[in-house]
């Protein structure tokens, strides 16, 4: 039977093996998957053409936007992806003018046919997928930093190096170091984004955020782009329109410059994959700034707006001018609720707390160290990562519920919505659940781990700290590669092992890094706490 498409880059891929039909589990059609492959092949062609050439800001932007476009739940628009392909080809023509019209083509700068990757030997395909998907995730971080005016030439250069490797017929010995270099470079990239966010918006501080919607017009903003939120707040100031965050935009409430806007009121909704139900009845528009867009249902499709890289057929797209007037006018027309309306998190909580970034937690590092030394704090769990709809993800809720009272839970990314509205009390004078921010803020967790390692005078793997991670899309892949680059071991990973990880590569990861596929909360907790 002919395969309509092939895609296995997200955790929910069909049968945990790959989407091959007319529509993927994420909702993208086979034609979109084909165009994403064409775009990726063009980016590899751009990487080939870049050898020995002077690259410009325009070249780098085309690279970042092209890679970001191929991340899960970003773009469902054929027109938008074709525009990205055209932009990449224009940059390639600038680097090697006349190459496409050469009478004696050498083939050295050709675009790459992704069928060569999908049909490669199993282990080679697996490692190349790790590289490619890790690069896609890192591109998202680099893009967000760029939107704030921050860039790093070493990070930029590696996108071309990594993609070039994907297009070559290299063996495992040459490919594995490239995969780990993705993690190494992503660490630099995350540090860059951390700097961009803190220098632009201030250092996050712990902030309790209500889940109540006040009466009157409002806008829900989702995604990760803090700059877009800032612009929306500026354009709505004094208009009587309240702004509510959704999903990964929640940590925005912790940044001093953003929380200074009095009409940034609270957070709406729970996990991103619940949006088709949660957005159905709200009398307000929803603005998507980055990924985590699901195909809108008909009952709210006319209230969905996109900007940046995000695109969906029929949705009004806010262009590079960032004039949010269509969103604002829709909010005023809909009017919001006539009276305040209470909402809750998944576990019934009416508030959530965020803002425990590395600066906030490190300011009380002495208290953490003392609590560990006295035995008041026995263990720290890093329970974070991407959320998804698969039923097995209830593991993370139950895991956190069952953590002993003398332990703490650090969390980040959208996986926290499984449990972030729970009140587990305090330990050592600190909340037992501490939200460190977006998936974009994974750098905070890494920085904290190594700071504690230094404070205790031991290796990071000797700390009473265990990562219990969930993954969904490609940013999680880049973070995992960073953790492996840093030599961190004893990682619990779920809810499933990535479909693109071959048995051979999985065996290598387990043997080299002590990665554990999750089992049950009870069994995993018992195993962790007896170590």
pLDDT at residue 2 tops 60: no
CA-CA distances (angstroms) from residue 149 to 68, 199, 227, 229, 320? 17, 11, 11, 16, 15
Are 473 and 137 within 8 A, CB to CB?
yes
Q: Which residue has the tokens 């969906």?
A: 312
Q: pLDDT tens digits for 490-513?
A: 999 999 999 999 999 999 999 999
Give the pLDDT score at 109. Answer: 84
CA distance 396 to 473: 17
CA distance 436 to 168: 39
pLDDT at residue 463 tops 50: yes
pLDDT at residue 486 tops 90: yes
pTM score, whole prediction: 0.96
Q: pLDDT tens digits for 160-172?
A: 999 999 999 999 9
Q: pLDDT tens digits for 81-130?
A: 999 999 999 999 999 987 766 666 676 789 999 999 999 999 999 999 99
Give backbone dihedrals phi and psi of 157, rounded to 5 degrees, phi first: -65, -35
Percent of the chain topping pLDDT 70: 98
Rounded to the nearest integer, the mean pLDDT of the chain is: 95
pLDDT at residue 148 tops 90: yes
| Tokens describing residue 140 | 């998202």
Give the pLDDT score at 1. Answer: 40
Nearest Cα to 353, choosing from 278, 250, 454, 283?
250
Domains of the chain: 27-97+108-181 (no CATH), 207-342 (3.40.50.2030), 358-530 (3.40.50.2030)
Give the pLDDT score at 392. Answer: 83
Give the pLDDT score at 54. Answer: 93
Query: What are residue 213's DSSP bridge partners?
Result: 341
Average pLDDT over residues 300-306: 98
Q: pLDDT tens digits for 390-449?
A: 878 999 999 999 999 999 999 999 999 999 999 999 998 999 999 999 998 999 999 999
CA atoms within 13 A on the CB side of 79: 6
Give the pLDDT score at 66. Answer: 98
What DSSP character marks residue 321?
Answer: T
CA distance 382 to 442: 11
């Amino acid at each position: 039977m002919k395969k309509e498409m092939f895609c296995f880059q997200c955790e929910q891929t069909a049968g945990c093996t790959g989407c091959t039909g007319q529509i993927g589990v994420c909702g993208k059609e086979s034609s979109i998957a084909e165009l994403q492959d064409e775009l990726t092949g063009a980016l590899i062609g751009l990487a080939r053409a870049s050898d020995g050439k002077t690259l410009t800001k325009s070249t780098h932007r085309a690279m970042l936007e092209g890679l970001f476009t191929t991340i899960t739940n970003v773009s469902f628009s054929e027109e938008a992806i074709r525009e990205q392909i055209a932009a990449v080809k224009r940059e390639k023509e600038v680097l090697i003018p006349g190459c496409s019209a050469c009478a004696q083509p050498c083939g050295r700068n050709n675009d790459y046919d992704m069928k060569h990757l999908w049909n490669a030997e199993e282990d080679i395909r697996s490692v190349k997928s790790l590289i490619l998907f890790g690069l896609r995730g890192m591109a998202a971080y680099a893009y967000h930093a760029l939107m704030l005016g921050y860039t790093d030439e070493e990070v930029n250069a590696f996108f071309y190096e990594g993609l070039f490797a994907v297009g070559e017929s290299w063996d495992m010995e040459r490919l594995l170091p490239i995969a780990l270099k993705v993690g190494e470079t992503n660490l630099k990239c995350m540090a860059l984004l951390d700097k961009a966010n803190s220098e632009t918006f201030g250092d996050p501080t712990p902030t309790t955020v209500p889940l109540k919607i006040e009466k009157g017009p409002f806008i829900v903003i989702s995604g990760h782009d803090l700059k877009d939120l800032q612009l929306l707040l500026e354009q709505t100031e004094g208009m009587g329109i309240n702004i509510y965050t959704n999903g990964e935009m929640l940590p925005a409430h912790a940044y001093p410059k953003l929380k200074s806007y009095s009409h940034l009121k609270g957070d709406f909704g729970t996990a991103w994959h619940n949006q088709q139900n949660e957005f159905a009845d709200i009398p307000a528009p929803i603005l998507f700034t980055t990924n985590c867009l699901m195909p809108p249902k008909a009952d709210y499709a006319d209230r969905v707006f996109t900007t940046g890289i995000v695109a969906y057929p029929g949705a009004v797209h806010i262009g590079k001018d960032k004039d949010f007037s269509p969103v604002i006018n829709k909010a005023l027309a809909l009017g919001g609720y006539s009276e305040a309306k209470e909402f809750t998190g998944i576990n019934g909580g009416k508030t959530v707390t965020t803002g425990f970034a590395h600066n906030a937690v490190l300011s009380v590092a002495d208290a953490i160290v003392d609590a560990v030394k006295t035995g008041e704090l026995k263990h720290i769990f890093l329970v974070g990562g991407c959320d998804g709809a698969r039923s097995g993800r209830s593991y993370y809720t139950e895991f956190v519920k069952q953590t002993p009272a003398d332990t703490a839970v650090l969390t980040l990314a959208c996986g926290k919505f499984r449990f972030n509205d729970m009140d587990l009390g305090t330990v050592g004078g600190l909340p037992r659940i501490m939200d460190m921010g977006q998936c974009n803020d994974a750098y905070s967790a890494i920085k904290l781990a190594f700071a504690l390692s230094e404070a205790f005078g031991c290796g990071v793997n000797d700390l009473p700290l265990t990562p219990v991670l969930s993954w969904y899309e490609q940013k999680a892949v880049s973070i995992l590669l960073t953790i492996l680059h840093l030599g961190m071991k004893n990682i619990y990973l779920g809810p499933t092992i990535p479909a693109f990880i071959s048995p051979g590569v999985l065996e290598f990861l387990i043997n080299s890094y002590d990665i554990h596929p999750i089992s049950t909360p009870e069994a995993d907790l018992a195993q962790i706490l007896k170590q």
